[in-house]
Amino acid sequence: MERILVVNPNTSRSCTQGIEAALAGFAAPGLLRLEVMELPGGPPAIVTWRDWFSVAEPLCRLVEREAAAAYVIACVSDPAVEAVRMATRAPVFGALRSALAAALARADRIGIIAMADASLPRQRRALAAMGVESRVAGHIPLNLGMETLTDPVAPRAALQETARTLARMGAEAIILGCAGMAGHRKAAEDAAGVPVIEPCQAAAALAIQAVVSAR
């Protein structure tokens, strides 16, 4: 089980490839292998509450048949994290909660760039669960589809302008609110002038720490 399984709960191949690219720098001798996969039969993107709930049982079944030292649910709405924790004794990390932990470790006030208006209630749920709503300077949706977000060019200007807006609102660190934005982290950071957190990287770092510290 010398791997950490990173599961993209949607079926967007471009999103999965972006996650793989974001995690490529985590490969190093002596560390566990990060293996990225899509959830078979998942929705094209986790946009609505129906999408969010629909992946719970498939994720549990995947974890039950795919042994790993730790698991990352690579969606910035943290779908089914609680359910998956009931299906395995290995540690399970949600991308959003991991990103919040990383951002709040670096800044007092944070901003979030969400995928869409429909993402906001699910992300607010995680903020409330962690008791950190008061530390959010801004929470702005792009309202762009997954295939647009994963394009190397199409969403960049909107992402950069939103990052600048959040910095002007007082955000001292910014979270990319969809795994499809992974390829734009540095561009957003350069535009905003504050740290920008890519959630799958944040979750992978916590997963590696959990497994290595338990050895």
Encode pLDDT of 38-94 as tens digits. 999 999 999 999 999 999 999 999 999 999 999 999 999 999 999 999 999 999 999
pLDDT of residue 31: 76
- Which element (helix H / strand E) includes 62? helix 56-65
List the domain boundaries for the chain: 3-94+201-213, 96-198
Band of residue 1 on the pLDDT scale cut at 50, 70, 90: low
Residue 92 tokens, joined: 């399970």
For the domain spanning 96-198, the CATH number is 3.40.50.12500
pLDDT of residue 213: 87
Looking at CATH, the fold of the domain delimited by 3-94+201-213 is given as Rossmann fold (3.40.50)
One-letter amino acid at 83 equals A
User: pLDDT tens for residues 154-183?
Assistant: 999 999 999 999 999 999 999 999 999 999
Handedness of CA 171, 14, 87, 213 (dihedral sign): negative
pLDDT of residue 32: 84
User: Measured between alpha carbons, how far is 141 from 163 in angstroms, rounded to an integer?
Assistant: 11
Is the fold of 3-94+201-213 the same as that of 96-198?
yes
State how far the alpha carbon of 189 is from the alpha carbons of 11, 70, 107, 173, in Å: 28, 29, 14, 9
pLDDT of residue 29: 77
Neighbours of 195 (CB within 10 A): 17
Band of residue 28 on the pLDDT scale cut at 50, 70, 90: confident
User: Measured between alpha carbons, how far is 185 from 188 in angstroms, rounded to an integer?
Assistant: 5
